Amino acid sequence: MANEIKRLNMKDLESNRDEFLSELYTGLKEYGFVVLRDHKINRNKLDRAYALLQELFNLPLETKLKYDSGEGGRRGYVAFGRENARGNPHADLKEFWHVGQDLTPASDYFREYPENVWPEEIPEFEEFFKGFYHDLESLGKTVLEALGEVMGLEKNFFRAMVTDGNSICRLLHYPALKNLDTKNAMRAAAHADINLLTLLVGATDSGLELLDKDGNWMPVESNEDEIVLDTGDMMSRLTNDVLPSTVHRVVNPANQERSRYSMPFFLHPHSNASLNCLPKCAGPGGSKYPPITAGEFLDQRLVEIGLTKS
């Protein structure tokens, strides 16, 4: 195994499709991570997104707390120290805001998913992040369809799963660490993602590391024009760990004076989607995991990370 995360150019999906599909699949199989270039979300939009993030998190705490939706962190604001990694008693050093699916009454999930919460202090925020959410969701669907093709699945298998999915764009702020107690906590302790795929828009600072198959922590480097893609627990269940959900973390930096911002997009299926092992991934030993729906699995994990109560 080459000690390197694969870097893929999305343009090759059209011009050099077979090689792109092979590299995507083997990259995710080896590390659970790849880096995407030329993904068509332009730099001006990314810069504007980060400017709006800074404006959001610079609001007074009492203002931000107005936008705690009361929905277990599923929409709106989640305060600093609220979330912990699964199995870790120490809260992560972060605050965040969740933007979710914006459905019409025609959707079966219109009443099931919480409504979005928008900060009235930033008039541009709602329109911008609705569009940004759509851009990332569209990219995620394109990657999923490519994975489905190389895995020999029906053409619309993944698209059907994630249409009206409970996907989340998480707008993250890791505050400067000066004057914070970092003895037992880090910006994001070791964890695996819950969902099918995560698209992480290039963060404003380094710190992301993955745990490789040899048990070593490996930095995941990307620039502001690239998107880091990783597979989550739902994908590992579907594929019987053929495409693994790789543990990763965000370590505390040496510079204690600087904040870090990032915008992961967690691509989820709709709540009724089955996460049962794909027959072609079962192998001689059969499925490693019992049957469960995406909604049931998400509810379990939100309890485990401290966002909802059992």
Looking at residue 73, what is its pLDDT?
A: 76
Residue 156 lies in a domain: yes
Cα within 13 Å of Cα(161), Cβ side: 26
Helix (H, G, I), strand (E, B) or coil at 152: coil
Grade residue 230 by pLDDT with cuts at 50, 70 and 90. very high
Model pLDDT for residues 246-269, shown as the tens digit of each residue = 999 999 888 888 899 999 999 999
User: Across the strands, what pairs with 209?
Assistant: 219, 249
Rg (CA), the chain: 19
- 1 assigned to some structural domain: no
- Tell me what pLDDT residue 71 has: 67
Q: Looking at the domain assignment, is residue 310 inside a domain? A: no
CATH number at residue 87: 2.60.120.330
Bigger pLDDT: 245 or 184?
A: 245
Q: What is the pLDDT of residue 62?
A: 96
Q: Count CA atoms closer than 13 A to 45's CA, side-chain side.
A: 17
- Integer Cα distance of 198 and 206 in angstroms: 17
Q: Which domain holds residue 27?
A: 7-304
Number of domains in the chain: 1
Strand order through the sheet with 227-231? 7-9, 33-37, 227-231, 197-201, 260-267, 168-174, 95-100, 76-78
Higher-confidence position of 302 and 137: 137
Look over the chain and give the mean of its residue pLDDT values, rounded to a whole number.
Answer: 91
* pLDDT band of 26, cuts 50, 70, 90: very high
Q: How many other CB atoms are found less than 10 A from the CB of residue 155?
A: 10
Q: Is the pLDDT of residue 303 over 90?
A: no
Asked whether residue 298 is assigned to any structural domain, the reply reads yes
Residue 209 lies in a domain: yes
Closest CA to 248 of 32, 1, 37: 32
CA 248 to chain centre: 12
pLDDT > 60? residue 113: yes
